Structure 1
């Protein structure tokens, strides 16, 4: 595999979904412990980074690190409630893209 360039390159799967009508959850399923160690490092992926990617206040972001599963889970309030007139992604299924495209240093 060529040197990874994005979180998506290091992950088995990066996905997003609703966590109720008012929250979005994104999950990073990393291929191995090394990839997990990189994305789980608060110096690499933290609330201010997620805030910049998604335009949400950093103090509303919750990050859960699950080393036994090589998974990082990120939740934050939806910009508009699910199903509202301005909701452009009712299932929050496309919210993962900016995170998947977030660059990492080549290893």
Structure 2
């Protein structure tokens, strides 16, 4: 059973302004992108569970020309808030690497 880390050559996360985080999943080929970009395990429910956000707020944008899926979700607290632990959201992608794509 493949995991996100098996089908993506690069996964990154970053702040998308003070209220949003964006995760970019670069698949290792156009074929892999076509196979997995719409997979339910990469849907709003998974992001809601992993990042404790409302699934209705998760935005998915496939970019076929780059074999990439962009997923954005609201930050639990604004960037720079007193409880902030990852100001630039550069470590948020790690939770996705082990997601099963069965």
Pairwise same-fold verdict (TM > 0.5):
yes
Aligned to 2:12: 15
C-alpha deviation, 1:49, in angstroms: 1.7
C-alpha deviation, 1:57, in angstroms: 0.3
- Contact map agreement 1:7 1:39 (CA 8 A) in 2: no
Residue 103 (structure 1) aligned with residue 100 (structure 2):
yes
Q: Within 5 A, what are the aligned runs for 1:17-56?
A: 17-56=14-53
Report the structure, 1 or 2, having the larger helix content: 2
Q: After TM superposition, what 4+ stretches of structure 1 lie above 3 angstroms from structure 2?
A: none
Q: What TM-score do you get using the length of structure 1 for normalisation? A: 0.87
Cα distance in 1 for partners of 2:74, 2:60 equals: 13
Structure 1 residues 104 and 28: alpha-carbon distance in aligned structure 2, compared to 1, 3 A threshold = same
- Contact map agreement 1:15 1:93 (CA 8 A) in 2: yes
Aligned length: 102
C-alpha deviation, 1:104, in angstroms: 2.2
- Contact map agreement 2:41 2:100 (CA 8 A) in 1: no
- Contact map agreement 1:38 1:44 (CA 8 A) in 2: no
